[in-house]
Structure 1
Amino acid sequence: MNNRLLLAKSFARARHEGQRYGEFPYYVHLDDVERLAQPFGIDAMIVAQLHDVLEDTTTSVDELVHDFGESIALSVSYVTDPLQGDRKTKKKQLHQRLIQLDETEGSARLALIVKACDRLANVKACRLFHRGKYAMYQSEHADFRKATYRYGLCEMIWWELDMLIEVGDKIGRY
């Protein structure tokens, strides 16, 4: 395993210590997002491990810059929800940030890929274990897609996510 990825895994596990993702330790979610990000390279996998560390822990951007470099820190900051407001307000602000990203810039590209991977991991987990959250993701999907999707960036992630959102209930019956 790449040393930088191993550092990111260790860092994220230490920072998310004691946090849960439903019934599981939080790192289960981080590992799911990392697996989805794997086809996009080591930096995407690193951002996947770190994607929630700014919003869910006391970690600072400066710490990420110090340990992982400016590009990784910037990517993580792009995908981080604002700290103030209710879910609807936070998501609106986040979407405004994401829609402005230029996917030809490296940090922005990583952020958009990891954000799609994160949403896919969340939708998969909620579809199985938390139907209320699954319905919430379905209701948010159009706005999320408008802000985050870029043609040709991670089409298979989007194909699976769209399928789960649009026909998820029917898929589960067969």
Structure 2
Amino acid sequence: MIYLEEKALEFASIKHEGQLDDQGRPYFFAHIIQVYGLLKNVTDDVEILCSGILHDVIEDTDTTYDELVHEFTKEIADLVMEVTHEGDKETGRYFPRLHSHKAIVVKFADRLSNLVRMVNWPGDWQQDYLRESCFWPTEP
């Protein structure tokens, strides 16, 4: 299954080409590779690893769900959709589709990568990010 990981790395590097993180570093290397490394340390599940690599392609590029199904698998595309940001202020859930164990593992690696990198963010960005990190409904 290493083939799928390599394919996901190549796909994501092309899709994120030219994107920079908030510190001006290439986004693919600053964030995507970091998320992949975090996941690689805890699992060899190819769906989790590929979803970690691809977790931002629908949210941050012109990639579609159907394209992911075609290029990878429906299972990988479904996991990417689960972790794709869709703020829902009415329910208090920032990730309304986040349900499966695999998706939660991917989202926590994504959040951990962002938490490590947020040290240089302005204070209001940090506060907003921490508030948005609520995965489940909160009491009003």
TM-score, normalized by the shorter chain, greater than 0.5: yes
**1:62 matches 2:66:** yes
Instruction: Quote the residue 2:43 is aligned against.
Output: 40
Instruction: Quote the residue 1:9 is aligned against.
Output: 9
**Unaligned stretches of 5+ in structure 1?**
102-107, 148-174
Cα distance, 1:17 vs structure 2: 1.1
**1:113 matches 2:105:** yes
Q: After superposition, what is the alpha-carbon deviation per residue over 1:94-134, rounded to whole angstroms, capped at 9, x for unaligned?
A: 43322xx2xxxxxx22211100110010011002x214333
Cα pair distance change 1:91/1:2, threshold 3 Å: farther
Cα distance, 1:136 vs structure 2: 2.5
Structure possessing the higher radius of gyration over alpha carbons: 1
Cα distance, 1:140 vs structure 2: 3.6
Cα pair 1:80 1:94 within 8 Å, conserved: no
Within 2, Cα distance between the matches of 1:90 and 1:81?
Answer: 15
Cα distance, 1:91 vs structure 2: 9.4
Instruction: Quote the residue 2:26 is aligned against.
Output: 25
Cα pair 2:85 2:95 within 8 Å, conserved: no
Within 2, Cα distance between the matches of 1:95 and 1:63?
Answer: 22
Within 2, Cα distance between the matches of 1:25 and 1:125?
Answer: 13
Q: How does 1:130-169 map to 2 (within 5 A)?
A: 130-132=121-123, 133-141=125-133, 143-144=134-135, 146=136
The one of 80, 83, 97 equivalent to 1:76 is: 80
Higher relative contact order (Cα pairs below 8 Å, separated by 6+ residues):
2
Identity of aligned residues (%): 34
**Unaligned stretches of 5+ in structure 2?**
none
Bigger helix fraction: 1
TM-score normalised by length of structure 2: 0.82
| 1:40 match: secondary structure | coil
Cα distance, 1:90 vs structure 2: 9.6
TM-score normalised by length of structure 1: 0.67
